[in-house]
Structure 1
Amino acid sequence: MQTRDRAEKNLGGKKNKSRDLSQQQQRLQSASPPPQLPWIDFSSDHHTINTLTLTTEYARVYITIGGNLWELTTCLSTKHSPQSFMSVRVSAMSVLPPVRKDRIIAQLPQYFSKDAAFHTQKDFNNKVKTACQEQRTGTVGRFKISKVIVVGDLAVGKTCLINRFCKDAFDKNYKATIGVDFEMERFEVMGVPFSLQLWDTAGQERFKCIASTYYRGAQVVIIAFDVNDVASLGHVRQWLEDSLKENDPTAVQLFLVGTKKDLSSPAQYSQIEQDALKIAQEIRAEYWAVSSLTGENVREFFFRVASLAFENNVLAELEKSGPRQIGGVVRINSTSNNVYASSKKKQPNCCQ
């Protein structure tokens, strides 16, 4: 008798779960999709490619439809074969909020030191200004994005630097980053939406192998060092070498950032600044000094990064033959038809 009651109870629970799942599917099907919803063709071993993010669990693409920016996401079942990833209809979506008023850039922010600045002009490139005025900025619609990685020794203040700008907060309780962390910061540059993907990487040696896998595809590399720690400045070249292994050195913008400026006396800072400027000139990086505690130069620095990344992005797009078409197929070319087979070819030995 107890066995029968238990069986009926289990059967009732399964029916309830099935009914809930059916209702969820009906709600998804009843949701009206945006106009000209594109098909996305996945045929690449790159997991993050500018406006598209692909993992084994989800796919995400940013696209402008009808003048609005959409974040399109679809869940991918790992039970399916790799071939099932090749063509996926985007089913869920959300509109990103408007750009904050304090993230609007109308003029090019100026450099910190003329002795170490790879862009000494006082305004944006004329071609970029004309393109923005005519809305000929390339990519999908009007939305642009650049990947930024922040590297440097342990405890130099990489996470505090990002949190001060993105969240306007400073946490005195130190917590080491495990692997990588991620923030998305949205701007409007000369009327054009633009975003920075800020990748906060771990400085510990044991997490270096994990963090280095996220270096690929970076348009901007920020190397942070502590102005009170000469050793962290001495490791800059090694961090630069590691970050450029997965990127084209000629296509990456470099920034050398001295942190914790509030803890340094004027005499001490002046001495280390000379060494930092020399290194910045040698590696062709733009130099900045900031304080995450007081917020000194933090906002100006990231506005400078966003502006130069935007300008570089637009110039690169203007050199291409033509913009992509909305409502068609977004294709990512690859010589392999198997996502997993091609990605397994490049496995770092240090993690095995």
Structure 2
Amino acid sequence: MALLSMVAIFKCFLHSLTCCIPLLYLSIKCCQTCAFVLIYLSAFPPLLLMSHCFMFPAGKTTFVKRHLTGEFEKKYEPTIGVEVHPLDFSTNCGKIRFYCWDTAGQEKFGGLRDGYYIHGQCAIIMFDVTSRLTYKNVPTWHRDLCRVCENIPIVLCGNKVDVKNRQVKAKQVTFHRKKNLQYYEISAKSNYNFEKPFLYLARKLAGDQNLHFVEAVALKPPEVQIDMAMQQQHEAELAAAAAQPLPDDDDDLIE
């Protein structure tokens, strides 16, 4: 009995420690022409995943503000000039929280310092499907990210797929195939595929492909309605393109 009591006390002690340790550091970084999310992992307490993230344009602010918890509990950190939005998700393994950092635009002036990337564990790179320039900048963000963080799981997201006049066609998105990245088409304003990048990264970081969300994500009501027939056509184009040989480069998108 004494041994069991000591074990129970020790478990409680460990739980009290782990509940105070942020698990991830999720940063969404972008510039006027691209965005990405960088995640830092410091610990993995059982049934709890916590993260911090930076956010920058290509729809990044709209993206993070769709999540109700992130908007209601946001805080400003004056020492580093960012607004922090906590995003909560419920999974079969427990609660996950991503702290998303909005960098207030300092990345527009000459890029970001390496210090923003250090200890990053995974990332979301975002571009705007209505702007070819944002897709052109994806390789730059990917290169800078990998130069500091090396081999981390990365998701590429094409945002604003609700807009009919898209400039970057689904079949033209090939960078993820060249770099072995996961790719999702998303729409922040319609909430389309909002949770998929977070679920993919949570599974990668937890090392559990069976991890799944058990509750609907608390999102604001959609501001626009996505044309699902059109989006299904885009998804079919993506699938067809995946079976084709890769082009030598993506410069054709910028002409």
Q: 1:287-334 deviations in whole A, cap 9, x for unaligned? A: 1111111111113443333333322699xxxxxxxxxxxxxxxxxxxx
Report the counterpart of residue 234 of structure 2 in structure 1: none
| 8 Å CA contact retained: 1:64, 1:142 | no
1:167 to 1:157, Cα distance in 2 relative to 1, 3 A: farther
**Residue of 155, 170, 177 corresponding to 1:255:** 155
Residue 186 (str. 1) matches residue 88 (str. 2)? yes
Query: Matches of 1:184 and 1:274 in 2, distance apart?
Result: 34
| 8 Å CA contact retained: 2:63, 2:188 | yes
Report the counterpart of residue 196 of structure 1 in structure 2: 98
Query: Matches of 2:110 and 2:68 in 1, distance apart?
Result: 24
1:307 to 1:296, Cα distance in 2 relative to 1, 3 A: same
**Residue of 102, 109, 122 corresponding to 1:206:** 109
Cα RMSD (Å):
3.7
Q: CA deviation at 1:168?
A: 8.0
Q: CA deviation at 1:286?
A: 1.0
Q: 1:224-253 deviations in whole A, cap 9, x for unaligned? A: 111000011011010111222321x22x11
Query: Matches of 2:148 and 2:169 in 1, distance apart?
Result: 30
Instruction: Choose between structure 1 and 2 for higher RCO, CA contacts under 8 A separated by at least 6 residues.
Output: 1
Q: Which residue type is aligned with residue 291 of structure 1?
A: S
Residue 162 (str. 1) matches residue 113 (str. 2)? no
Q: Which residue type is aligned with residue 303 of structure 1?
A: L
Residue 218 (str. 1) matches residue 120 (str. 2)? yes
Q: CA deviation at 1:71?
A: 3.6
1:284 to 1:291, Cα distance in 2 relative to 1, 3 A: same
Residue 64 (str. 1) matches residue 15 (str. 2)? yes
Matches within 5 A, 1:1-352: 64-65=15-16, 70-71=19-20, 139-140=44-45, 142-146=47-51, 148=53, 155-167=57-69, 180-201=82-103, 202=105, 204-206=107-109, 208-209=111-112, 212-247=114-149, 249-250=150-151, 252-265=152-165, 268=166, 272-276=169-173, 278-311=174-207
Q: 1:86-135 deviations in whole A, cap 9, x for unaligned? A: xxxxxxxxxxxxxxxxxxxxxxxxxxxxxxxxxxxxxxxxxxxxxxxxxx
Q: CA deviation at 1:140?
A: 4.3
Query: Matches of 1:288 and 1:197 in 2, distance apart?
Result: 21
Q: Which residue type is aligned with residue 275 of structure 1?
A: Q
Q: Which residue type is aligned with residue 64 of structure 1?
A: H
Query: Matches of 1:307 and 1:180 in 2, distance apart?
Result: 27
Report the counterpart of residue 28 of structure 1 in structure 2: none
Q: CA deviation at 1:256?
A: 0.9
TM-score (norm 2): 0.54
Q: CA deviation at 1:285?
A: 1.2
Q: Who wins on radius of gyration, i.e. which is larger? A: 1
Q: 1:27-65 deviations in whole A, cap 9, x for unaligned? A: xxxxxxxx7798xxxxxxxxxxxxxxxxxxxxxxxx623
Query: Matches of 1:140 and 1:69 in 2, distance apart?
Result: 5
Q: Mark the runs of 5 or more structure 2 residues left unpaired by the alignment.
A: 1-8, 23-42, 72-79, 211-255
Query: Matches of 2:146 and 2:101 in 1, distance apart?
Result: 15
Q: Secondary structure at the match of 1:274?
A: helix
Aligned length: 172
| Percent of pairs with identical residues | 19
| 8 Å CA contact retained: 1:150, 1:223 | no
Q: Secondary structure at the match of 2:190?
A: coil
Q: Mark the runs of 5 or more structure 1 residues left unpaired by the alignment.
A: 1-34, 39-62, 74-137, 170-177, 315-352
Query: Matches of 1:308 and 1:296 in 2, distance apart?
Result: 22
1:168 to 1:213, Cα distance in 2 relative to 1, 3 A: closer
Q: Which residue type is aligned with residue 241 of structure 1?
A: R
| 8 Å CA contact retained: 2:70, 2:87 | no
Q: CA deviation at 1:72?
A: 7.8
Query: Matches of 1:257 and 1:162 in 2, distance apart?
Result: 14
